[in-house]
Structure 1
Amino acid sequence: MRTAVVTGGNRGIGYAVCESLTREDFHVIAVVRDPTAPVPPRVERLRGDLSSRRTVAQLAEALAGTTIDVLIHNAGIWPTRLRRNEDGIEESFAVNHLAPFQLNLALEPRLRRVVQVSAGLYVKGDVDPGKTPWGKDFHRLRTYCHTKQANLLMVKEFAQRWQEVTIDAIHPGVIRTNLGDPGGALGLVLRALKKTWSPVAEAAPPIVDLATAEGTGRYFNVTAEEPLPENPELSSRLWEQARKLTGAD
Structure 2
Amino acid sequence: MSKRVLITGGNSGIGLCTAEQLAARGAEVILACRDLDKGQAALARIKNAHPRAKVRLFPLDLSDLEGIRDSAATIFQELDHIDVLINNAGVVPTRQQFSKDGYEMQFGVNYLGPVLFTHLMLPLLQKGEQPRILHLASVAHWLGRINKKTWRGRKLYLTMDAYGQSKLANILFSNILADRLAELGITSNALHPGGVDTPIFRYAPKPLMALIRPTLTTPEKAARLPVSLALDPQYAGVTGEYFANFKPAMRSPLARNAKLAETLYYDTMAELDLPAL
Under TM normalisation by the shorter chain, which class is it? 0.7 to 0.9
Instruction: Spell out the pairing of 1:52-63 with structure 2 (5 A cutoff).
Output: 52-63=64-75
1:224: which partner in 2? Answer: 247
**Aligned counterparts of 1:50 and 1:14: Cα–Cα separation in 2:** 15
Instruction: Spell out the pairing of 1:23-172 with structure 2 (5 A cutoff).
Output: 23-37=24-38, 38-39=41-42, 40-41=46-47, 42=53, 43-65=55-77, 66=79, 67-111=81-125, 112-129=131-148, 131-136=149-154, 138-162=157-181, 163-164=183-184, 165-172=186-193
2:210: which partner in 1? Answer: none
Identity %: 30
Unaligned runs of 5+ in 2: 48-52, 126-130, 204-212
1:175: which partner in 2? Answer: 196
> Structure 1 residues 96, 158: CA separation in 2 closer, same or farther (over 3 Å shift)?
same
> RMSD of the TM alignment (CA)?
2.0
Equivalent residue pairs, number: 236
2:209: which partner in 1? Answer: none
Q: Give the drift of 1:141.
A: 2.0
2:3: which partner in 1? Answer: 2
**Aligned counterparts of 2:219 and 2:71: Cα–Cα separation in 1:** 26
* SS of equivalent to 1:81: coil
Amino acid at match of 1:92: Q
**Aligned counterparts of 1:142 and 1:87: Cα–Cα separation in 2:** 21
Q: Give the drift of 1:148.
A: 0.6
Task: Point out which structure has higher relative CO (alpha carbons under 8 A, 6+ apart).
Answer: 1
1:205: which partner in 2? Answer: 224
Q: 1:118 touches 1:170 (CA, 8 Å); kept in 2? A: yes
Q: 2:170 touches 2:190 (CA, 8 Å); kept in 1? A: no
**Aligned counterparts of 1:11 and 1:181: Cα–Cα separation in 2:** 21
Q: 1:80 touches 1:180 (CA, 8 Å); kept in 2? A: no
Deviations 1:171-201 (A, max 9, x none): 011213566789xxxxxxxxxxx9x941100
Q: Give the drift of 1:152.
A: 0.9
Q: 1:31 touches 1:48 (CA, 8 Å); kept in 2? A: yes
Greater mean deviation of Cα atoms: 82-91 or 19-28 = 82-91
- Which structure has greater helix proportion? 2
**Aligned counterparts of 2:202 and 2:270: Cα–Cα separation in 1:** 32
**Aligned counterparts of 1:140 and 1:126: Cα–Cα separation in 2:** 13
TM-score, normalising length from structure 2?
0.79
Unaligned runs of 5+ in 1: 183-193
**Aligned counterparts of 1:15 and 1:181: Cα–Cα separation in 2:** 24
Amino acid at match of 1:14: G
**Aligned counterparts of 2:264 and 2:73: Cα–Cα separation in 1:** 24
Is the aligned partner of 1:238 residue 2:264?
yes
Q: Give the drift of 1:166.
A: 0.8
**Aligned counterparts of 1:143 and 1:223: Cα–Cα separation in 2:** 27
* SS of equivalent to 1:126: coil
Q: Which runs of 4+ in 1 moved over 2 A?
A: 176-182
Amino acid at match of 1:242: T
* SS of equivalent to 1:135: coil
